[in-house]
Amino acid sequence: MITGAKHPSSSTLVPDPFLLGFVFFKPRCIRHSHQEPNTMKRLLNISALLLILCFWVGECKFMVYDTSQRIQSDKINVHLVPHSHDDVGWLKTVDQYYTGANNSIRGACVQNVLDSVISALLDDKNRKFIYVEMAFFQRWWNQQSELLKAKVKELVNTGQLEFINGGMCMHDEATPHYIDLIDQTTLGHMFIHREFGQKPRVGWQIDPFGHSSVQAYLLGAEVFTGIFPRHYDPPDGFTFEINDVSPPIQDDALLFDYNVQERVNDFVAAAIAQANVTRTNHIMWAMGTDFRYQYAVSWFRQMDKFIHYVNLDGRVNALYSTPSIYTDAKYAADEAWPLKTDDFFPYADKVNTYWTGYFTSRPTFKGYVRTMSSYYVAARQLEFYKGRNDSGSNTDTLANALAIAQHHDAVSGTQRQHVAADYALRIAKGYAETEEVVASSLAFLTSLRSSGNHENSVTKFQQCPLLNISYCPPSEADLGDGKSLVIVVYNPLGWKREEVVRIPVSSHELIVLDSDGKEIDSQLLPIFNASLNMRNYHVKAYLGRTPTSTPQYWLGFTASVPPLGFSTYIISRVKHTDARSTMSTVWTSDSTSDKIVVAGGGNLKLHYATDEGKITHYINSRSLVEESMEHSYNYYSGHNSTNQASGAYIFRPNSKFPIQSEGKKTFAVLKGPIMDEVHQELNSWIYQVTRVYKEKEHAEVEFTIGPIPIDDGIGKEITTQITTTFKTNRTFYTDSNGRDFIKRVRDFRTDWDLQVNEPVAGNYYPINLGAYVEDGTMELSVLVDRAVGGSSLVDGQIELMLHRRLLFDDAKGVGEVLNETICVLNDCKGLMVQGKFYIRIDPMGDGAKWRRTFGQEIYSPLLLAFAEQDGNDWKNSHASSFSMIDASYSLPNNTAIITLQELESGTVLLRLAHLYEVGEDKDYSVMASVELKKLFPDRKISKVIEMNLSGNQERGEMEKKRLKWKTKDSSKAKIVRGGGVDPEKLVVELGPMEIRTFFIDFDHLMITWCEPVSKAPYRLAPSELQELVSQLQELSDKGFIRPSHSPWGIDDLFDQLQGSTWFSKIDLRSGYHQLRVYEDDHSQDGFQNQIWPLRVIVQFLGHIVNENGVHVDPAKIEAVKNWSTLKTPTEIRSFLGLVGYYRLYISNFPRIAIPLTSLTQKESPYEWGPKQEDAFQTLK
């Protein structure tokens, strides 16, 4: 029986007669048309007859489906891409999704998906599947047997299973910082490369709610971009989970619902409809959706049948495929593609439905992620200085938690509340472990080069994660009885910084000493009740306890910190009055009749009207900028329509209302030598502090918002506006993931004519770094400390949304109202958010310097660690300052180190980023150079390899595989990129906006001021040994010590040779060549014992041992070589006695010696002839 299956694969039982119709009446292909040919009508008639025959005969046979189809150039190719979109948290937590727990919310189990898919792939070598989320796959992989792992590796190697994207999650593109995007992708890519040796080459960002320009840059040419007609679902009628309603192919003629031709027609119609709006003859169907393939055979069985029957039909070509295959096919078509250089924001899926609310949703979680992201960057640096600890505390837990938090339903704020709590808990656990790394690293660094004994107790540093709400127990402690507070201030940036440090204290009788022990200026500012009330409530909510002390003041001082290093400051209590911190002067509206009060003691001054407490003017005496300014707050009432409500995803305002001061509220100005502060209490739920630092030229605005009142039944979305008189022609600029700035024009899109139906929400954009407007003469810039939504709805104005509290769900899937609360026991209040934004006005062209430099300082704040000491001898017992880089060097002002990390292999990962765009600044939008030798002055660089961005392949290898797409826009701007790295000069060049990644190996350097620890071993009683093990484990767990993998620790170097008598198998050749050391230190290396000093050649027992092997010592055999002819039997016996020592090493010794031994017999005459001479010379 002819079945039409050339390459047998999937199979089942179907009636044989039906296949005859497809074999003999194969219809011709009709491209881009659904009209049936006459042959198809004939086929249907014959098929009907065959059905009757099958019923009559009642015989079925084993059916083989042909799934081996490949691309055909003369047909529409339908690429079926099996996939499951597995959210790394959303309605359920990450763990719940993996294990299938809490199925009352959603029946989803990723473990089942992977088990089922692998089994189905092993059943048919033509089947394919793609997977994205390594957070799930890595967990599943670690639970598998070695046998199954080997099978999965084969599936990966043959292309049946392909990793797409390859990060720990499918990250959001609106609200993460670009460093977080890189880190989470790197984590997944390194797992894939380590376990499978594979490198993902295709992106698969199918569910984020818009696409950023930075995402395109990060993925480069190895990105798959496409807009799918049905999101990431198959066309209607082609989903085949076991509980889906799509009709399956029923190809058993004995069934009354036999429908092969009907389903083939449906398939062809859907394919042609998509092909008519798609370039080239290749279309893709994403065969899957959220958490599908839990019973994979239900999908693959139907796809097997569709591929088989559709290809027998012949109008289109169906095949198993992947995005890689599809992308290669598109590229091979040699089409010219339109070029888009901005982004895909804001996204709307219908009228009045702009997905712009999530730009701000869950603002405290967004702030937490950003804070921990910068902490992770600094902690990796400190971990590198001290050395990575693979068995104890390290930064890996925080890395994984932050990677998961970049998921498009995590940092976006679009998850359910219990899932948000789970994300935060994971980060908190990661922080707790990383905090130990930071503390132990600083303890290690402060002890270096000190004159004291290294065996003294290790300094225990504390940190204050709740410092933003004035809670810091070490700084609030009483400093009586000669105690002092030590503050180590670490700078994770590559340039020197001078910034104000603020800590809560309980006393006013304090002085501040710098790293050199000199007293520096400091200032005390009273802590107001509003701050204390917030502090007490939130400490109890987060820590479960009430603070035991109440600080009275903020102590501020200017810290000067070297690049990639730290400075130390000592806070001490004094009794005398001539040397102490300066108390701020407090001014209130009741204390003066002046109409204007000025804040700012340096170049920048802000004018406030005393009657309303509002800012009126911004004046910079250095830049000669003088501009009228207003700062206000408003709220949008959230739309509650059943048609479309405002919710976690959607921003749909109903009306806008100004927030006015209620009654006589706080308006106070605090003045001092370091900073001025303006305190404003707008109402019971909005409090604001504006700071102007004497040595800075920007205003810092700290806001506290919440609980947002909802007693009136109205959800509210809180915004702030900074307004100037600039004429900006509807134009403003917002950043993309903290990198490049994109031009925005109100009520306008570059790619189509916009029909304005949501004039507010439709003009909102994501902001991670900041926004600015300009009028040709001046620039107004506003920078932020976390992801927010914002716009410029009025010329000369920048608007930011800071908080949201809503009462209706927006029906986009989360199924929960965005109404966050915080609780102490049963007392729950609406969420309070505290954050900052920064304002500056510059002459036209000067604003970029501040946005880029200070933007980095916002992202990477100074890291503070606290310790207590008795007396004032810190400088004598500790290193009070440190910098990793050369003392005469700092990074260029347009360059930043975004990653400095020691990997598990010991290799160091270094990423450098150029901070400026082309043409952004006349001074800094130029090629930058970084000198690696000065970046690592105490280390000898042995190897530098440039990698791709995620570090899973060399850059040169990636460039060879880069696809060169043809575009319709031929006027491409020239991209400036840095050249190769000379192995001698070791200078890295970076062009504007370029990021470069390197793997660096170091030689082991002889550190002159540090000696390896050498302690003689000694015996311990079992009880003492157990106690020692316990104490060592405790120190290891705390990160104070770690297992040493130093080459100094090899046995050959620690064996004690002195005093020994017997030696065996001493491998001298390898013993002297095991340490790779800096070349200049070769003269210092070696060891000495009582047997011999270090030599290149060793003489031993008549032999010479050197790097070429063992040889006879020529000096020792000189006498033998010159031995004269033997004249008597006695001389022969003496000679043979000596030679006898080596008879075991002389082949045929007895036979060779016969002519000589015969002369030693008494009865034999002594006759020396040619035979005797030959034997004599041979034995010599």
1069-1079 pLDDT, tens digit each = 444 444 455 55
Write out the E strands in 506-639: 510-513, 519-520, 522-526, 553-561, 565-573, 582-583, 585-588, 596-599, 604-609, 614-620, 625-628, 630-638
**Residues 920-958 pLDDT 10s:** 999 999 999 999 999 999 899 999 999 999 999 999 888
Sign of CA dihedral 832, 836, 841, 844: negative
**CATH code at 886-964+975-1006:** 2.60.40.1360
HSE value, Cβ hemisphere, 13 Å, CA-based, for 71: 17
539 and 469 in contact (C-beta within 8 Å)? yes
Question: Which residue from 675, 700, 702 is spatially nearest to 558, judged by alpha carbons?
Answer: 675
**In whole angstroms, what separates CA 1030 from the centre of its chain?**
35
Residue 746 predicted with pLDDT over 80? yes
Q: How far apart are CA 691 and CA 702, in angstroms?
A: 8
Residue 1041 predicted with pLDDT over 80: no
Half-sphere CA count of 508, side-chain side, radius 13 A: 11
**In this predicted model, what pLDDT tens digit does every residue of 868-892 receive, in sequence order?**
988 667 888 899 999 999 999 999 9
Instruction: Name 731's Cβ contacts closer than 8 Å, sequence gap at least 6.
Output: 743, 744, 745, 746, 773, 792
Burial 1029-1051 (b: 16+ CB within 10 A, else e): eeeeeeebeebbbbeeeeeeeee
Confidence of residue 772 (pLDDT cuts 50, 70, 90): very high
Q: Is the pLDDT score of 491 beyond 60?
A: yes
Angstrom distance (rounded) from CA 141 to CA 155 = 14
For residues 647 and 812, what is the distance between their CA atoms, to the nearest angstrom? Answer: 9
- Amino acid residing at 986: L
Residue 11: predicted pLDDT: 46
Given this model, what pLDDT does residue 1046 score? 54
Task: Name the band, by pLDDT with cuts 50, 70 and 90, for residue 865.
Answer: very high
Other Cβ atoms less than 10 A from the Cβ of 970: the count is 8
- Cα–Cα distance for residue pair 262/306, rounded to 1 Å: 11
Backbone phi and psi for residue 380, each to the nearest 5 degrees, phi listed first: -65, -40
d(CA 987, CA 931): 5
Reading the block at residue 1099, the tokens are 């003489």
d(CA 873, CA 513): 12
**pLDDT at residue 1116 greater than cutoff 80:** no
Contact 800, 790 (CB under 8 A): yes
The predicted-structure confidence for 44-98, as pLDDT tens digits, reads as follows 554 554 455 444 444 555 688 999 999 999 999 999 999 999 999 999 999 999 9
Strand partners, 525: 554
* pLDDT higher than threshold 70 for residue 212: yes
Q: Tell the CATH superfamily of the 79-341 domain.
A: Glycoside hydrolase 38, N terminal domain (3.20.110.10)
Give yes or no for a contact between 734 and 801, defined as CB atoms under 8 angstroms apart: no
pLDDT in tens, 508-527: 999 999 988 899 999 999 99
Residue 723 in tokens:
């307004």
Confidence of residue 1178 (pLDDT cuts 50, 70, 90): confident
Tell me whether domains 465-583 and 886-964+975-1006 share a fold. Answer: yes
Supply the pLDDT for residue 149. Answer: 97
**Residue carrying structure tokens 């999704």:** 97
Token pair, residue 1136, equals 């043979």
Label residue 452 by pLDDT band (50, 70, 90): very low
d(CA 886, CA 881): 13
Q: Does domain 1096-1179 have CATH number 3.30.70?
A: yes
Straight-line distance from the first to the last Cα atom of the chain, in angstroms, rounded to the nearest whole number: 89
Residue type, 785: D
The answer to whether the peptide bond before residue 707 is cis (omega within 30 degrees of 0) is yes
| Helix or strand (DSSP H, E) at 1155 | helix 1149-1157
Highest-pLDDT range among 385-389, 448-452, 509-513, 860-864: 860-864
Residue 752 CA, chain-centre distance (Å), reads 35
Tokens of 559: 């810290």
Best CATH choice for the domain 632-669+681-844 from the list 1.10.357.10, 3.40.50.1000, 2.60.40.290, 2.70.98.30: 2.70.98.30
Domain ranges of the chain: 79-341, 465-583, 632-669+681-844, 886-964+975-1006, 1096-1179
User: What whole-number distance in Å separates Cα of residue 380 and Cα of residue 74?
Assistant: 55
Burial-class residue 629 by CB neighbours within 10 Å (0-12, 13-18, 19+).
Answer: buried
Residues in CB range of 1045: below 8 A, 6 or more apart: 906
CB 645 within 8 A of CB 811: yes
Q: What's residue 912's pLDDT?
A: 98
Tell the burial category of 977 from Cβ atoms under 10 Å away from its Cβ (0-12, 13-18, 19+).
Answer: middle
Taking alpha carbons only, the member of 859, 863, 850 closest to residue 893 is 850
Q: How many CB atoms lie within 10 A of CB 162?
A: 23
pLDDT-based confidence at residue 455 (cuts at 50, 70, 90)? very low
Of 1050, 1032, 1028, 1029, the C-alpha closest to 1041 is 1032
Tokens of 260: 């092969």
The DSSP result for 1129-1142, as a single string, is HHHHHHHHHHHGGG
Q: Which CATH class is domain 465-583?
A: mainly beta
Average pLDDT in the chain: 87
pTM of the complete model: 0.83
pLDDT, tens digit (0-9, with 9 covering 90-100), for 637-671: 999 878 899 999 999 999 999 998 876 677 999 99
Please, which residues have CB within 8 angstroms of residue 1080's CB and are 6 or more apart in sequence? none
Structure confidence by residue, pLDDT tens digits, 692-734? 999 999 999 999 999 999 999 999 999 999 999 999 999 999 9
Across 783-790, average pLDDT: 98
